[in-house]
Amino acid sequence: MICRDVATSNCEDIKSTLESAKKRNVILIVGRTTIEYIGRAASESILADRLVIIKPDGSLLIHEATKVEPFNWQPPRSIINFECINDKLRLKSIRLNPHEEVLVDFDYIDFIKICNISTTKLRIIGRESDVVSMIMNNVALIDKDSSIIGIDIPTPYGKIDILLKRSDGTFIVVEVKNEKAGVPAVIQLKRYVEFYKSKGYNVIGILIANDITDDAYSILMKEGFKFVNLSSIITKPRDMGKLDKFLKT
């Protein structure tokens, strides 16, 4: 990331610099401001020190010292312009539909930075497919004596996420959920296990999820299945060793 400082001594120079930078860069301004909102309602803020963030997609975020949510904001595709009023900077953000305006008047500017910040996609860790891939790459996480039969194994009741087999012929059915598991998840696992038991196999059932409801856990224990806390696996990748230490029994 490359940022550059903008001199704050001359309003017309600031305006020119910000106008040329707003479509390609993120602009950070810290200063003493008043804010006026005109739209479906109306509001005014008192003079106070704030952080103003302008993004090249037209987003405007105004933050104070606390809270995650901005003190005031405008969404992407808003039109942002700068002007000088009595040699002091004004930022005007206009949202077209519905029509809304936010006027930010700077009484004093502490600093301005123009930054070239990337736009990327977030890779989510902990999706069901991520957990399946992790186990596929290291079956010993489930059982050191097991080998992979396959993933997405079709049955009359749906597809089994992971099916393993021990050297003694015992099947291990693994059901993965990236949410809090309820009774339906346990019933689904139970159907898979009973399907293979009906074919004469000895079968173990394991449910992996972020959490589990009390009702679901009661059924899980009654059926003799095991529960693995997904968050424990994802957040402790280097020292997790065998999954047995995360099993709730």
- At residue 241, the 3 state secondary structure works out as coil
**What per-residue confidence (pLDDT) applies to 237?**
40
Q: What does the DSSP 8-state code read for residue 56?
A: T
**Neighbour count for residue 116 (Cβ, 10 Å):** 13
**What per-residue confidence (pLDDT) applies to 123?**
54
Give yes or no for a contact between 240 and 233, defined as CB atoms under 8 angstroms apart: yes
Per-residue model confidence as pLDDT tens digits over 69-127: 999 999 999 999 999 999 999 999 999 999 999 999 999 999 999 999 998 865 555 57
Give yes or no for a contact between 89 and 70, defined as CB atoms under 8 angstroms apart: no
Q: What does the DSSP 8-state code read for residue 98?
A: T
- At residue 70, the 3 state secondary structure works out as coil
Q: What are phi and psi of 184, to 5 degrees?
A: -55, -35
Q: pLDDT band for 239, please (50, 70, 90 cuts).
A: very low
**What per-residue confidence (pLDDT) applies to 107?**
97
CB crowding 180-199: b at 16 or more within 10 Å, else e: ebbeebbebbbebbebbeee
Share of the chain above pLDDT 70, in %: 89
Alpha helices in the chain (DSSP H): 11-21, 128-137, 183-197, 214-223, 230-235
pTM over 0.85: no
Residue 84: closest CA among 59, 111, 106, 102: 106
CA distance 163 to 199: 15
Give yes or no for a contact between 39 and 95, defined as CB atoms under 8 angstroms apart: yes
- Cα three-residue angle 163-193-174, rounded to 5 degrees: 35
Q: Kindly state the average pLDDT of the residues 15-29.
A: 97
**What per-residue confidence (pLDDT) applies to 21?**
97
Domains located in the chain, CATH noted: 2-116 (2.70.180.20), 128-248 (3.40.1350.10)
- Is the predicted pLDDT of residue 214 greater than 80, yes or no? yes
Per-residue model confidence as pLDDT tens digits over 126-156: 577 777 887 788 787 777 888 999 999 999 9
